[in-house]
């Protein structure tokens, strides 16, 4: 991670820096496009398909279940706009979801669909309350794997079980967990997943994935249908709506080719390192961060119970304005965020104790 040469970077829950392999893939595409134009397109397409394969391996899916999408919102919208809603149906989600997992459901109100937003306790979800919000008209439960504000890591298997017990589907907004923690969709029975690659998967913005369980491929009405959606995608004179038998039917038109190539390079790096190893490193560095932050008087807001921990740590420095602290840290080459009026760090597996030294020094040098 070249960024580590100059910055103590603790903002992967916002926008991550690129890996060296991703940067090399992007540069290669730029050079090829500059020099050779679209004569290299078949090779780019092959490499983009390798990104689909890597994404499938990352979550234990079949490649036919992976759609390459431009954002988490786009993947969620495939589901929100694709289901055959009836007036009186409802969606169950959480009150503190990131907007990407709220607005696509709220937008269904004009079709007579209710969005039920279950309150949390500072990010902590009471599963009994979630179950109580579901009924016979619940079509889908949509929850983030990891809450963006406090980093609470939800019990995905139990949430999926609650949804299925009520005859509903489950959508997982995985952007704050995928790339940081292992997930096997063969073991965790979610129905849909969406995640952009620019956070924990260390890819460029505008390149992400959606997972659609195979048995649901025909359940969603395809939206944004284009030349790439049909079996005969390269035969532009044959106008027949013969949709692909895979999730790529939902991709519509031209892809963010350069983004997908960079994204694929970072996915290959993560797979080579091993998600279990990455998760262990992230939890170790965040545990250490919590200890050191508390030692300088910070109040840790995030739930740090063993199974609830994530790569996100929200904290407060009593008597200090969080935004001012953030700006001060940036001048010290330390990058962190403010969310909901609190400071938030989100280190990745490459961050180390030296980075924490710089973080603590920057925080201690701030004068209100």
Question: In this predicted model, what pLDDT tens digit does every residue of 116-168 receive, in sequence order?
Answer: 999 999 999 999 999 999 999 999 999 999 999 999 999 999 999 999 999 99
**Whole-number average pLDDT of the chain:** 96
What's the pLDDT at 108? 98
Using CA atoms, how far residue 93 sits from 125, 145, 148, 169, 344, in Å, is: 11, 12, 14, 12, 23
Beta-bridge partners for 251: none
Q: Angle at which helices 322-331 and 353-364 pack, to 10 degrees?
A: 120
User: Residue 99's pLDDT band (boundaries 50, 70, 90)?
Assistant: very high
Which pair of structure tokens corresponds to residue 364? 């201690």
Question: In this predicted model, what pLDDT tens digit does every residue of 201-229 receive, in sequence order?
Answer: 999 999 999 999 999 999 999 999 999 99
The reply to whether 21-272 shares the fold of 2-18+274-364 is no
Size (the chain), residues: 368
C-alpha 213/C-alpha 202 separation (Å) is: 25
C-alpha 333/C-alpha 330 separation (Å) is: 5
C-alpha 249/C-alpha 241 separation (Å) is: 11
Beta-bridge partners for 141: 92, 170
pTM score of the predicted model: 0.95
CATH of 21-272, one of 3.40.50.261, 1.10.540.10, 3.40.640.10, 3.40.190.10: 3.40.640.10
- What is the pairing mode between strands 192-196 and 208-212? antiparallel
13 pLDDT above the threshold of 90: yes
Which pair of structure tokens corresponds to residue 193? 């997943």
Q: Which CATH architecture has domain 2-18+274-364?
A: Alpha-Beta Complex (3.90)
**Among positive and negative, which fits the CA dihedral 18, 9, 326, 294?**
positive
The share of the chain scoring above pLDDT 70, in percent, equals 100
C-alpha 13/C-alpha 153 separation (Å) is: 13
| Domain spans, the chain | 2-18+274-364, 21-272
C-alpha 299/C-alpha 11 separation (Å) is: 19
C-alpha 318/C-alpha 274 separation (Å) is: 38
What's the pLDDT at 340? 87
Mean per-residue pLDDT, 11-25: 98
What's the pLDDT at 368? 61
Question: In this predicted model, what pLDDT tens digit does every residue of 28-81 receive, in sequence order?
Answer: 999 999 999 999 999 999 999 999 999 999 999 999 999 999 999 999 999 999
Question: In this predicted model, what pLDDT tens digit does every residue of 165-201 receive, in sequence order?
Answer: 999 999 999 999 999 999 999 999 999 999 999 999 9
- Helix (H) or strand (E) holding 34, with range, is helix 20-36
Beta strands in the chain (DSSP E): 8-9, 66-69, 90-94, 114-118, 138-144, 169-173, 192-196, 208-212, 299-300, 313-316, 334-335, 337-339, 342-345
Which pair of structure tokens corresponds to residue 263? 């994204």
**Other residues' Cβ atoms within 10 Å of the Cβ of residue 230:** 18
367 pLDDT above the threshold of 80: no
């Amino acid at each position: 991670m070249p960024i580590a040469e100059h910055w103590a970077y603790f903002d992967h829950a916002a926008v991550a820096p690129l890996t060296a392999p991703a940067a090399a893939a992007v540069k290669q595409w730029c050079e090829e496009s500059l020099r050779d134009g679209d004569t290299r397109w078949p090779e780019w397409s092959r490499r983009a398909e390798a990104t689909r394969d890597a994404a499938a391996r990352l979550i234990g899916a079949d490649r036919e279940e992976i759609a390459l999408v431009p954002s988490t919102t786009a993947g969620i919208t495939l589901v929100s706009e694709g289901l055959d809603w009836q007036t009186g149906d409802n969606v169950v989600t959480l009150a503190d979801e990131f907007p990407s997992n709220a607005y696509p459901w709220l937008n269904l109100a004009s079709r007579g669909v209710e969005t039920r937003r279950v309150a949390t306790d500072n990010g902590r979800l009471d599963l009994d309350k979630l179950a109580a919000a579901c009924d016979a008209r619940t079509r889908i439960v949509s929850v983030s794997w990891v809450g963006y504000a406090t980093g609470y890591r939800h019990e995905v298997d139990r949430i999926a079980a609650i949804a299925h017990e009520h005859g509903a589907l489950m959508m997982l907004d995985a952007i704050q967990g995928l790339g940081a923690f292992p997930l096997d969709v063969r073991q965790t029975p979610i129905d849909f997943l969406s995640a952009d690659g620019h956070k924990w998967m260390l890819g460029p913005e505008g390149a992400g994935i959606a997972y659609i369980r195979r048995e649901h491929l025909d359940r969603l009405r395809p939206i944004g249908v284009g030349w790439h959606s049909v079996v005969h995608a390269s035969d532009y004179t044959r106008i027949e709506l013969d949709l692909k038998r895979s999730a790529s039917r939902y991709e519509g038109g031209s892809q963010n080719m350069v983004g997908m190539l960079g994204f694929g390079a970072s996915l290959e790096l993560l797979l080579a390192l091993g998600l279990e190893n990455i998760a262990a490193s992230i939890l170790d560095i965040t545990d250490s961060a919590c200890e050191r932050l508390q030692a300088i008087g910070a109040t840790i807001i995030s739930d740090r119970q063993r199974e609830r921990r994530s790569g996100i740590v929200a904290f407060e420095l009593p008597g200090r304005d969080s935004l001012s602290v953030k700006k001060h840290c940036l001048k010290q080459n330390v990058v962190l965020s403010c969310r909901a009026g609190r400071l938030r760090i989100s280190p990745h597996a490459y961050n180390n104790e030296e980075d924490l030294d710089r973080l603590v020094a920057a925080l201690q040098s701030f004068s209100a």
